[in-house]
């Protein structure tokens, strides 16, 4: 399995032209269906934060799907947020009640601008395992709270 994983990450770096700095399983909160996050790979490279969900279905899930229904999650989700376009990282409180009754990992929202769309900021929410080290690296990339407001004032 180690050889397959090494091959996958080598192919990922070759495909993107970026060096992987941190990676983990995570989820993206789809604005069209926020109750059911999409699980996939969360990857921080030397150029971008990436989230990639590849559609698929396990045999266990297929047992519980109503007869005749098709999966509503057939689209590939591949989000690439250039490091330079990150405007803010907003984190939700993950206190005791959230840990007991909420999602398994803390939720955060990246506020960013897509290349060519600088006038409108995007907001994408994700959850990643905080023990992987990816979230602290993202925190270091985001401007401190209030920094963007300070830049715009005279």
Which pLDDT does position 98 carry in this prediction? 62
pLDDT mean across residues, the chain: 80
What is the number of domains present in the chain?
A: 1
Range of the domain at 30: 2-152
DSSP 3-state assignment of 51?
Answer: strand
Tokens of 25: 């399983």
The pLDDT tens digits of the residues spanning 66-124 come to: 544 444 456 678 999 999 999 999 987 666 666 666 667 888 999 999 888 877 889 99
Note the pLDDT tens digit of each residue in 24-40. Answer: 999 999 888 888 888 89
CATH number where 78 lies: 2.30.29.30
């Amino acid at each position: 399995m180690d050889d397959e994983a090494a091959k996958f990450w080598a192919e990922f770096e070759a495909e993107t032209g970026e060096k992987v700095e941190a990676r983990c399983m995570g989820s993206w909160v789809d604005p069209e269906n926020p109750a059911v996050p999409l699980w996939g790979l969360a990857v921080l490279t030397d150029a971008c934060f990436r989230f990639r969900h590849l559609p698929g279905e396990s045999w266990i899930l297929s047992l519980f799907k109503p007869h005749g229904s098709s999966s509503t999650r057939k689209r590939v989700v591949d989000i690439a947020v250039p490091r330079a376009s990150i405007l803010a990282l907003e984190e939700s409180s993950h206190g005791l009640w959230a840990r007991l009754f909420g999602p398994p990992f803390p939720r955060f929202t990246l506020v960013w601008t897509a290349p060519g769309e600088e006038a409108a900021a995007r907001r994408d929410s994700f959850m990643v395992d905080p023990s992987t080290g990816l979230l602290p690296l993202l925190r270091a990339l985001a401007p401190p709270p209030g920094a963007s407001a300070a830049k715009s004032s005279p």
